[in-house]
């Protein structure tokens, strides 16, 4: 299985992701890496994001309607997605891993992991909106 070779583009992508807390999309990452490597290809962004995900250095966040987001924080945690501004943020919350056990109780297979996303209005949007 092909030994990994260094690439400055990949390093740059990882560095960029680590500098951001807003879980950017591949496209946003592309725009930013292009500042440093103007010839970088969008394919290179996607290839490296998938590679970094596969070796566990970053994680991918799949959200309803919209491009995947990427996160350099690989510690298990949950995300909040604002239905108005579509921002994605980390939630600092108590562990809820026991829901895996709750789900396993009446299930005849093996539950290995779970993903929970929370939706609503972020702080800023809640401030400027009367609910609906």
Partner DNA sequence: TTCAATAATAATAATCGTTATCATTATAAT
Partner DNA sequence: ATTATAATGATAACGATTATTATTATTGAA
Residue 128 is a binding residue for DNA (CB under 7 A): no
Maximal CA-CA distance, the chain? 55
Write each residue from 31 to 60 as x if it is in contact with DNA (CB under 7 A), else as -, in one continuous string: ------x-xxxxxx-xxx-xx---------
Residue 120 is a binding residue for DNA (CB under 7 A): no
For a copy of itself, the binding residues in 51-80 under the rule CB under 8 A are 60, 62-65, 78, 80
In the list DNA, a copy of itself, none, the entry touching 67 (Cβ below 5 to 8 angstroms by class) is DNA
Produce one character per residue of 3-15: b if its CB has 16 or more CB atoms within 10 Å, e if not: eeeeeebbebbbe
Lookup result for tokens 């260094």: 6
Distance CA 62, CA 81 (A): 11
Angle among Cα 89, 90, 96 to the nearest 5 degrees reads 135
Nearer to a copy of itself, 55 or 110 (CB): 110
Residue 13 CB, shortest distance to DNA, in Å, is 8
Residues 6+ positions from 123 with CB-CB distance below 8 Å: none
Distance CA 62, CA 66 (A): 8
Residue 115 CB, shortest distance to DNA, in Å, is 15
Residues binding a copy of itself (CB under 8 A): 60, 62-65, 78, 80, 82-83, 91-94, 96, 99-100, 102-103, 105-123, 125-126, 131
């Amino acid at each position: 299985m092909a030994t990994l070779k260094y690439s400055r583009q990949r390093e740059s992508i990882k560095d960029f992701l680590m500098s951001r807390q807003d879980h950017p999309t591949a496209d946003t990452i592309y725009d930013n890496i292009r500042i440093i490597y103007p010839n970088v290809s969008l394919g290179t962004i996607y290839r490296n994001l998938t590679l970094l995900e596969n070796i566990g250095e970053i994680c991918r966040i799949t959200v309803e309607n919209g491009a995947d987001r990427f996160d350099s924080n690989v510690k298990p945690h949950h995300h909040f997605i604002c239905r108005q501004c579509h921002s994605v943020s980390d939630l600092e919350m108590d562990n809820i891993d026991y829901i895996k056990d709750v789900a396993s109780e009446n299930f005849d297979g093996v539950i290995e992991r779970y993903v929970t996303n929370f939706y609503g209005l972020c702080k800023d949007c809640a401030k400027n909106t009367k609910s609906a």
